[in-house]
Amino acid sequence: MPLAHPRPERASRPIEMRRICAATAALLLVLAGGCGTRPGSAAPRSDGGALAGPSLSPFRAVKQEAALPEGAGPDTLRAGMIADVRDRLMSHRDIEQDAARIVNEVEPIVAEAAGKAEARAALARYAADAGITVDAARRRWIALQTADLMLESGGDPDALSSSAAAGAAQWLAGTGRGAGLRVDLPVSNRLTKQITALRCRIAWIEYLARPDANRAAPGAPPYSPSDTALLPSLRAELQGLRVARQRADSRYDSRQAIIAQTRYLLRLYPKFPSPDWLFQAYHGGEAGVSRTLRLYLGAGWHGSAAEAIRHGDGGAPLTYDRLFFATSPASHAQAFSYLFGRSDDHRHYWYKLLAAEQTIDAYRKSPAAFHADWQTHLPGRRIEAYWYPDAPAEVRDANAQPDSRRELVRVAAAPGLAVRPPRDDPGQGPTGFLRPEAKGALLTVVREFQRDGGRGPLTLGDTTQTQAYLDRARLLHPGKPPPLPLFPPDPDAGLRIGGGPPRSFDYHVTGLVFDILWPADDRDRKVLEYVLDRLEAEGVLAAIPAKDQDERRYHVVPHPAYRKVFEKLSRSAN
């Protein structure tokens, strides 16, 4: 893939940062960042005012590519995938806090665990297999396990996932007990409820003490300025509850949980004697890795995952990279069907781990440079805001019907493409209109889908919409109510870090984005994900899995460096 333009470091799929939410604000949508030369830092901007203003995004002016990339090799695609994921991490509002905690609190515990006798013996085997020194193996292990903890929880000792995985290492209760941790679940659950309630009370006092607080916010308790005097004792009570929970449930004790994780992971090494496969097995299941290897090798299956990893590439070690990039709809079809039948979070986990490693290393080298880089990503907004920060201001009338806007072109049904109008009509008016570059990106997806064996037509969902339509849709479908207890609003939710448009702006108004609906045919869905994965790794577009009224879809954004190429494709199809 040509990298003459600033390469967007964005993730092809969202990463679950599993922790207890500190507010009821919706989880932040994530976007992309840039590498290469960075503009300087800027103060946060409020969410009010103009739809777009000066921003730090390096994509305000982009060198145009002459053609779409063709025949990108595994090394290029691998680098693109890692850059994608790293940028997903850099776009989180809390990434600096996470990185600081990982470097200052978590990594020292991982280093301690890697120095214990059982770990040293396992790392000596890894060093011998990899042909490196034991010290190099130990450093590499510390980096990888620390990166895993970044992805699992951001190093948060209070993290609790929707599946009840707890603590920095995200142990499930039964697995944690099996790894030697004390887990008194009834006591732990009771203390967690108390901790959550107390955290909520403290958060409300802190919020209501602000001069800009909304005293009528949903869930707001009675408040008196004298309540702030209670904060020291409430915080001390909260810390006492956390200590009590750590005694009852050592999943919440980061030192015990991380040392147990090190021991657990390194005991997997004889079964999966390579870090890439070991972490794939830890994250996605041992049986899943064994089945992937068996389906890929077919008649060449060596009888065990360990033998397949050691000798599965013509007698040489079989890396995850080798298997992943050699698997396609036309090659190793059974392995393809299984691998793409699993979530992208599983099949991309090794690349997410490497991206997290790079992110941590960047913070360790220079927190100040890390902060400046973070701001260029316009954190908290989707990738279209990062790639097209000026587009909202270019829309002269957000309520003009799409067929009256000169900058838009019609997308009609054609072989391989069906066009579905929005479900919440009335009043939407003409549909199926996009900017030429978006139409060109859509046609590229359709073409690649057919080349790779897609059978049915792809269905185009949402295209350009009016602001009035979007406002009506929000009223018709307000979303699920927040969980109890109700935390206060996030006072920083309106900040536009790095400038650019507000989080609330929907780029469907611009005509630059579109949604492709999840194919009903299972094989077609896998082929489509394969195509979108590759186009993302090549830096051509971004495709974000999404749901609208429980309908699955892929939200697609063309990369601005290919605007002229896509416009040419659009014109040639008219």
pLDDT value for 271: 98
Position 473 scores a pLDDT of 84
Indicate the SS3 state at residue 287: helix
109 CB contacts (<8 Å, ≥6 apart)?
254, 255, 258, 259
- Residue 198 CB coordination number (10 Å): 17
Contact 498, 33 (CB under 8 A): no
With a threshold of 0.75, does the pTM exceed it? Answer: yes
Q: What is the pLDDT of residue 152?
A: 95
What pLDDT, on the 0 to 100 scale, is given for residue 429? 59
- Residues 6+ positions from 27 with CB-CB distance below 8 Å: 21
Q: Note whether 546 and 555 are within 8 A (CB).
A: yes
In order of 443, 472, 493, 566, 570, the CA distances from 477 in angstroms are 31, 9, 21, 34, 34
Alpha-carbon span 244 to 80, nearest angstrom: 45
- What is the C-alpha to C-alpha distance for residues 465 and 435, in angstroms, rounded to an integer? 12
Closest to 54 in 3D by CA, of 448, 465, 401, 393: 393
Q: Say how many residues make up the chain.
A: 574
**In 10 A of CB 134, how many CB atoms?**
14
Q: Calculate the alpha carbon distances from 309 to 78, 158, 414 in Å.
A: 19, 36, 45
Q: Report DSSP letters for 397-436, one per residue.
A: -TTS-GGG-TT-EE---BTTEEE---SS-SS--S--EE-H
DSSP structure string for 367-392: HHHHHHHHHHT-TTS-HHHHH-TTHH
R_g of the chain computed on alpha carbons: 25
Residue numbers in the chain where pLDDT is lower than 70 = 1-53, 422-430
Compute the distance between CA of residue 90 and CA of residue 371 in angstroms, rounded to an integer.
10
How far is Cα 322 from Cα 331, in angstroms, rounded to an integer? 13
Question: How many Cβ atoms sit within 10 Å of the Cβ of residue 502?
Answer: 21
185-210 tens-digit pLDDT: 999 999 999 999 999 999 999 999 99
Q: CA 511 from chain center: how many Å? A: 24
Other beta carbons within 10 angstroms of residue 236's beta carbon come to: 10
* The predicted structure's pLDDT at residue 52: 57
Give the model confidence (pLDDT) of 259-318 as tens digits: 999 999 999 999 999 999 999 999 999 999 999 999 999 999 989 999 999 999 999 999
The burial of 225, by beta-carbon neighbours within 10 Å (0-12 exposed, 13-18 middle, 19 or more buried), is given as: exposed
